[in-house]
Amino acid sequence: MFLTDAHKEQIETWLAGLSERVAWLQTLSQQSDAWEHDLTWRLAAERALHTSVEYVTDISSLIIDALVMRDPGGYADIVKVLVEEQVVDAQWFDSFTGIFDLRTKLLRDHAQVTPTEIRQAVVRYANQFSPFIDAIRAYIK
């Protein structure tokens, strides 16, 4: 199979949504105040991180399905398929995979997520979505 124009349009729409969140996360990662202790800011950061991961996996799944790549076994494996197919860089993936553990914690053990963990995740991952965005845009061209 192949990526149709409709697939590419959907991917671009999702990349735009991801880019918007990434820009916000990057700005937040540069703030020196204790934003993570303000409930509204922390919840917004949690949601931005979570939805950004969902965009990554949704985009990856669409490509995998359209190109009939191997079936992934979980969230991290969805993106790993794109590494195996040389769509995204393996080193990038190695530095990014920890976010899947955070995603799981946000969904299944939310009461145990600390403000410090959210701040650390924003600082660690805010700039790590951009290489994915660039790789996907290069791939679909």
Residue 2's pLDDT is what? 80
Residue 3's pLDDT is what? 87
Residue 69's pLDDT is what? 64
Provide the residue-wise pLDDT of the chain in tens; the chain has 141 residues.
688 999 999 999 999 999 999 999 999 999 999 999 999 999 999 999 999 999 999 999 999 888 876 777 789 999 999 999 999 999 999 999 999 999 999 999 999 999 999 999 999 999 999 999 999 999 998
Domains and CATH numbers, the chain: 5-140 (1.20.120.580)
DSSP string, 48-75: HHHHHHHHHHHHHHHHHHHTT-PPPSSH
Angle of helix 129-140 relative to helix 5-29, nearest 10 degrees, comes to: 160
